[in-house]
Amino acid sequence: MKIYWIDLFCGAGGTSTGIHLSNKSNKVLACVNHDANAIKSHLKNHPEAHHFTEDIRDFAVVLKLKKLVEEIRANEPAAIINIWASLECTNFSKAKGGQSRDADSRTLAEHMFMYLKEIDPDYFWVENVREFMSWGPLNENGKPISRTEGKDYVKWIESVKSYGFRYDAKILNSANYGAYQSRERLFIQFAQGHAHPGEDL
């Protein structure tokens, strides 16, 4: 059974490389990034994937990906379709310090709904900083409001679950997995309520 991945915010291809290394059945079907240089690097690392130099918020790219997925499902009904999104994290990270946040950047996660609706993946994966769980409204100065911390995160999680997904999240440290640095990241897994035949969830 083939496992296909769509790598959103793909960068130069680090996540795609990890996907290929983790399981021989994995195949990165397509990747999306707005930066042309990142896509050029990704193309060299993963020449078999479909590459889209597109703004993630553009519905046109969603339709292009939907067409690819429909072809896969028509030819391989048992195939598993995954969407991976390494959402922009700068405006959530504590590294931002006391600086104001970019409200538009913080809503990139909300653009994922059109991917979920049109593509209907079996799994949806999100990687971000720990502070993503504190996502909430900003005041007039672009600073987080402490009393509403996490409000938008919970609302977003519930919205994703409304598409039929179950949900789990863990914070992992790269130092515990062979890296030579300590770096924490939040990993969120959304799994459709139905399982494929023989699939262990």
What digits encode the pLDDT tens for the residues 148-189?
888 999 999 999 999 999 999 999 999 998 888 898 999 999
Residue 196 has pLDDT above 60, yes or no: no
Query: CB under 8 Å to 195, separation ≥6 — which residues?
Result: 201
What interhelical angle do 14-22 and 36-45 show, nearest 10?
30
Q: Locate 17 and state its tokens.
A: 């490389």
Q: What angle do CA 177, 178, 181 make, to 5 degrees?
A: 95
3-class DSSP state for residue 183? coil
- Specify the pLDDT at position 106: 57
State the pLDDT confidence band at 135, using cuts at 50, 70 and 90. Answer: confident
User: Three-state DSSP class for 33?
Assistant: strand
Instruction: Name the pTM for this structure.
Output: 0.85
Q: How confident is the model at residue 123 (pLDDT cuts 50, 70, 90)?
A: very high
Block residue for tokens 């993503």: 132
Residues 71-112 pLDDT 10s = 999 999 999 999 999 987 554 444 444 444 444 545 789 999
Whether residue 79 contacts residue 121, with contact meaning beta carbons closer than 8 Å, is answered with no
Residue 197, pLDDT above cutoff 60? no
What size, in residues, is the chain?
201
